[in-house]
Copies of this chain bind each other. A is one copy, B any other.
Amino acid sequence: MNNYNDYVKHSKKITDVNMSMAVLGWDQETKMPKNGSRFRAQQLSTLAEISHELSTNKEYGNLLNNLNSDDSLNSDQRRNISLSLKAFNKSKKYKSEFIIEESKLVSNAFQKWRLAKEKNDFSIFESSLTKLVDLRIKECEILGYENHPYDALLNQYEPGLTTNDVDKIFSNVKEFLVPFIKRISKSNKINDSFYYQKYSHNKQWDFGIELLKKMEYNFDSGRQDLSAHPFSTHFSPEDTRVTTRVDEDNLSEMIWSCIHEGGHALYEQGILSENYGLPLGETISLGIHESQSRLWENNVGRSLEFWKYNYESLKSIFPNQLSDVTVDDFYKAANNVKPSLIRTNADELTYHLHVLIRYEIEKALIEGKIMVKDLPEIWNLKYNEYLGVEVPSDALGVLQDIHWSHGNFGYFPTYTIGSFYAAQFFNQAKIENPNLLKEIEDGNNKNLLNWLRKNIHNNGKRLDADKLCEKISGEKLNFKYFKEYVIEKYSKIYSL
């Protein structure tokens, strides 16, 4: 390996292996028969090992270091090299033993978590989770950090984001959202009971597909399937898939999970194929990814304009269930703010309190200030404090999320960051296209998608998240856009 082309070739090889893992993962979650799991885990672990070998190849590292000081490269090439070198240096920090230990711990923890949730017994999961937390504490030291060990974990998902940043963000959340939600809870209740009638699986499914098409999701470069937990994945910009789940007793589940995952998938479909295998062919961060799903799910998909266009179609599919429901009723119910137990079912305001609770717990765990064995108690106290709800069981409490069982710490804050980016981006899109809401009302999402393509998707990792935000909106992430969006929208809905 001695030139830029050799770098491209090797980088594509790593990507091919990673994308193959994604195919195996997709299959595992959507199609794999029950008994397939044992050898699938082994196959995924082997591919992960190969990917790590390729990513830490010495010759590749030398090439990256040489190219990093090669002035003949253009700016895109330099960006690719710089990011690949960063990834190489990070991969090098991990010894194979760590990767193997992690893979074993996660595999075990996942099984224990599932059982614990099923049996509603946190103690089954406790020892595995303790080991995972210890591993992450060790990992913070391996990766290094400037101010706070949790920074190292945040950086895995949101490069550049610090614990200090997240603290500031959540102090805004607390300062504004907590009293705002209290005001809402004192005003008139919204009736959303019509969601919880019988809605046939197949009709819901067809409507979900229709929604994805309306969003300009390209089914020639993707597909939708069912899975226990909705997710999106991609194997190239030309094969970017979504999954959903359908609850016949709850219409909202399918609708907003379709739109949410569709938003993720549109980001991946907007990556330029010519950059496949290179950093410029990758999305920026989980926070920016979440900004795309949340923008579609909330700013678009929970707007009155969106439903002014789409509600008639939904009503024609379910005429009996929705006979007495106006589009305004439907819109309000889609934005019903109500403190609840489960994060994934939360409205777009209380959602961030769910994230806040997880963030505070993760930080304290990594700091060593709390113990895993005390988590159920801590969890329940915080749910009472921030959301005013009593947690009736660990299954509906501390065991509800899959993340910790997968060893993902530092992930949750990106959900909140993403929503705030979404508000800032959507605000900017409206400024640049004053007709935007009218277009959405007319069922035309093309200009919005083109705006996202041009400003975000097509650029891949050309800019870091904060630089991208500045370029698009003239300033760094600013909570005020989310705050303004919330005040405007919910003041009307709740006549505050």
A223–B50 CA distance with the chains assembled, in angstroms: 29
Contact B36 A16 (CB under 8 A): no
User: Is residue A55 contacting chain B, with contact meaning CB distance below 8 A?
Assistant: no
Chain B contacts for A218, CB-based, 8 A: 35
Chain B contacts for A12, CB-based, 8 A: 42, 46
Contact A27 B23 (CB under 8 A): yes
Contact B39 A276 (CB under 8 A): yes
Copies in the complex: 2
User: Quick one: which of A253-295 are within 8 Å of B by CB?
Assistant: 273, 276
Contact A238 B38 (CB under 8 A): yes
A100–B146 CA distance with the chains assembled, in angstroms: 47
A276–B239 CA distance with the chains assembled, in angstroms: 31
A68–B67 CA distance with the chains assembled, in angstroms: 46
Contact B46 A221 (CB under 8 A): no
The smallest beta-carbon distance between A83 and chain B, in angstroms, is 20
User: Is residue A235 contacting chain B, with contact meaning CB distance below 8 A?
Assistant: yes
User: Is residue A345 contacting chain B, with contact meaning CB distance below 8 A?
Assistant: no
Contact A16 B35 (CB under 8 A): no
Contact B27 A43 (CB under 8 A): no
Contact B219 A36 (CB under 8 A): no
User: Is residue A63 contacting chain B, with contact meaning CB distance below 8 A?
Assistant: no
The smallest beta-carbon distance between A282 and chain B, in angstroms, is 14
Contact with B along A12-35 (1 / 0, CB 8 A): 110011011001101100011111
A276–B34 CA distance with the chains assembled, in angstroms: 18
Contact B236 A33 (CB under 8 A): no
Chain B contacts for A239, CB-based, 8 A: 32-33, 35-36, 39-40
Q: A16-B47, A17-B47, A46-B16 are in contact. Are A39 and B235 (CB under 8 A)?
A: yes
The smallest beta-carbon distance between A270 and chain B, in angstroms, is 14
Contact A235 B40 (CB under 8 A): yes
Instruction: Name the residue in A36, A38, A218, A220 with the highest tally of chain B Cβ atoms < 10 Å from its Cβ.
Output: A36
User: Is residue A407 contacting chain B, with contact meaning CB distance below 8 A?
Assistant: no
Contact with B along A29-70 (1 / 0, CB 8 A): 001111110111011001101100000000000000000000
> CB < 8 Å: which of B16, B23, B40, B219 contacts A42?
B16
Q: A36-B238, A238-B38 are in contact. Are A43 and B19 (CB under 8 A)?
A: yes
| Leading 3 A-B pairs by shortest Cβ distance | A36-B239, A39-B236, A16-B46
28 of the cross-chain contacts (CB-CB < 8 Å) are A13-B46, A13-B49, A16-B46, A17-B47, A20-B43, A23-B24, A23-B27, A23-B43, A26-B27, A27-B27, A33-B220, A33-B222, A33-B238, A33-B239, A33-B241, A35-B218, A35-B220, A35-B221, A35-B238, A35-B239, A36-B236, A36-B239, A38-B236, A39-B236, A39-B276, A40-B236, A43-B235, A50-B50
Contacts beyond the supplied A20-B43, A33-B241, A50-B50: 8 A-B pairs with Cβ under 8 Å = A12-B42, A12-B46, A31-B223, A33-B222, A33-B223, A36-B235, A38-B236, A38-B273
